[in-house]
Amino acid sequence: MSGKRFSKRLFESNDELARETAEYLKDFFGVDSWEDSENRYTIDRVGHRNGQPVLNVEVEIKQHWKDGHETFPYPDVNLPERKEKYFDLDLPTYFVIFSADCRGAVIFSDRVVKKCPKVEVPNRYVRNGELFFKIPVGLASFTQINK
């Protein structure tokens, strides 16, 4: 399997903003609070309800989706195969992909992803050999975020 190498620059420019933007999704997920996971390189956030952890959230920002108040511009969401490590954890895992302006989010669960095919998707980081789960946008939820 080929995969994108870790980019410290991309991580530093997107990770904290995506984690902070998750704060606006507490009502969407029905949680009282978020906590960062124990390790910054594992699942991003853990949602708590009544003091108990109830779900995991993995967040990212999609730079090609510029305006989050517009609907997601693609028929499918591509989730890197490397995110498979977040399936079947002790808590359900949700994947949240924010628009570049962090005003929109596409959300889907690990259960949904497991039913979707893996396909090779050439991209600007890996020309060939990188696999992605191809999630039809109709299987995801879309929400706008008003900051």
Domain spans in the chain, listed from the N-terminal domain onward: 8-144
Give 57-111 pLDDT, tens digit per residue: 999 999 889 999 998 999 999 999 999 999 999 999 999 999 999 999 999 999 9
pTM: 0.88
Just give the CATH number of 8-144: 3.40.1350
89: buried, middle or exposed (CB in 10 Å: 19+, 13-18, 0-12)?
A: middle
